[in-house]
Amino acid sequence: MSTPETSRFVRLRVELVLEVEDEDAVTKRALQRLAGDTEMPEEERAHAEGAVTEDTAEALAYLVDPFDLVSEVPGVELQQASWSSERIEYDPDSPDWDLDGDDVEEDEDDEEADGIG
């Protein structure tokens, strides 16, 4: 399936919903990771420590690293990544959380934009 028109780049979208059962443990681990980062400038470290201490969602953003997710995958190299975290209201039974439904809508929108749909 490798033709000249086929791009070698793939965008992988992942959405996770995590239940935090121990905020202190998450914050403590994020602070440990920050303390172990010897390349981070002191001013940036102070800002990051404040952020992870004040907000568990920020602490998770420091602990979940897209590079870690793909570093063991053979034949790929991470080119770019961005991620964020936020506190949300979550109801697994709500139709708003049908992740497959989002993909279908997005695909249909892409097809319409391409003149396919």
Q: Please give the mean pLDDT across all residues of the chain.
A: 84
Residue boundaries of the structural domains of the chain = 17-74
pLDDT at 60: 93
What distance in Å separates the CA atoms of residue 104 and residue 108, rounded to the nearest whole number?
Answer: 6
pLDDT at 65: 87
> Has residue 94 got a pLDDT over 70?
yes
- pTM of the model as a whole: 0.68
Residues 17-65: tens digit of each pLDDT: 899 999 999 999 999 999 999 999 999 999 999 999 999 999 999 899 8
Q: What is the mean pLDDT of residues 88-111?
A: 67
pLDDT at 66: 87
